[in-house]
Amino acid sequence: DGGITQSPKYLFRKEGQNVTLSCEQNLNHDAMYWYRQDPGQGLRLIYYSQIVNDFQKGDIAEGYSVSREKKESFPLTVTSAQKNPTAFYLCATRDRGNSPLHFGNGTRLTVT
Amino acid sequence: LAKTTQPISMDSYEGQEVNITCSHNNIATNDYITWYQQFPSQGPRFIIQGYKTKVTNEVASLFIPADRKSSTLSLPRVSLSDTAVYYCLVGDFHGSSNTGKLIFGQGTTLQVKP
């Protein structure tokens, strides 16, 4: 989706290092989301934010942290406390109400 | 827990109509039902959304019975390029407000054969 930029596309880190995944949007959407996807599995919700300066934990928030200082940006930090960080990470946005989610193209993180 | 249940996988042949059903017994009064398509190593893409009865767009139809406890995505005359994972997502209303918590189920892997 051209309105959501996730960078980088591929990211490699050594175990024990924190790493921050970027998600920027120019859709002027209020809500932003982070999902994790493991091979052959569905999407699992990590964190979400419905408004600037506010965010909530999803189902698998342990080992992750986020911030929402600007409407356009919702960076995700994968900390060393995350036991199995290697995965495909997807950022999404949503306008208000029942609007559908819009997804970025994802960042594939590999930790060795 | 996901609010939806779908078949894990389905097979079809080119040119056939494919119907994928999703169960959502605990759907909230204000929730809409949205279907997404995902190709490998890409983010899911919106296909169609509806609240009740039937919705049709240029790529699919969505059938929702009166009790809204299930929905069926219909893909007419599929091609090889329709091979993908399809997710049904129910909204996040609690009462009259969005909670924001959108939980995906496992999705249905559709394999279209020549």
More confident residue, A81 or B1: A81
Tens-place pLDDT, residues B12-66: 999 999 999 999 998 988 899 999 999 999 999 999 999 999 999 999 999 999 9
Give dist(CA A79, CA B84) in Å, integer: 32
Cβ contact (<8 Å) for A35 and B104? Answer: yes
Give dist(CA B94, CA B85) in Å, integer: 28
| Chain B CB contacts of A44 below 8 Å | 104
What is the model's pLDDT at position B99? 83
In 3D space, the residue among A7, A17, A27 whose CA is nearest the CA of residue A100 turns out to be A27
Q: Does B5 touch chain A (CB under 8 A)?
A: no
Contacts (Cβ under 8 Å, ≥6 apart) of B67: none
Across the interface, of B42, B46, B101, the residue whose CB is closest to A105 is B42
Q: Does B98 touch chain A (CB under 8 A)?
A: yes
B92 falls in which pLDDT band (50, 70, 90)? confident
What is the model's pLDDT at position B109? 98
B80 falls in which pLDDT band (50, 70, 90)? very high
Residue B82 φ/ψ, nearest 5 degrees: -85, -5
What is the model's pLDDT at position B88? 96
Whole-number average pLDDT of chain A: 94
Across the interface, of B2, B100, B104, the residue whose CB is closest to A56 is B100
Strand order in the sheet with B33-38: B9-13, B108-113, B84-90, B33-38, B45-50
Q: Does B83 touch chain A (CB under 8 A)?
A: no
Q: Does A36 touch chain B (CB under 8 A)?
A: no
B2 falls in which pLDDT band (50, 70, 90)? low
What is the model's pLDDT at position A30? 94
What is the model's pLDDT at position B95? 74
Residue ranges of A 60-79 with Cβ closer than 8 A to chain B: none
Across the interface, of A58, A98, A104, the residue whose CB is closest to B32 is A98
Give dist(CA B80, CA A94) in Å, integer: 30
Tens-place pLDDT, residues A10-50: 999 999 999 999 999 999 999 999 999 999 999 999 999 99
Give dist(CA B33, CA B24) in Å, integer: 9
Tens-place pLDDT, residues A61-87: 999 999 999 999 999 999 999 999 999
* Minimum CA–CA partner of B2 in chain A: A44
Distances (CA, A) of B66 to A1, A13, A37, A107, B90: 34, 51, 33, 40, 16
Q: How far apart are the first and last CA of chain B?
A: 36
Q: Does A59 touch chain B (CB under 8 A)?
A: yes
What is the model's pLDDT at position B11? 98
Q: Is the pLDDT of residue A2 over 60?
A: no
More confident residue, A58 or B91: A58
What is the model's pLDDT at position B1? 55
What is the model's pLDDT at position B51? 94
Q: Which strand (E) or helix (H) includes residue B91?
A: none
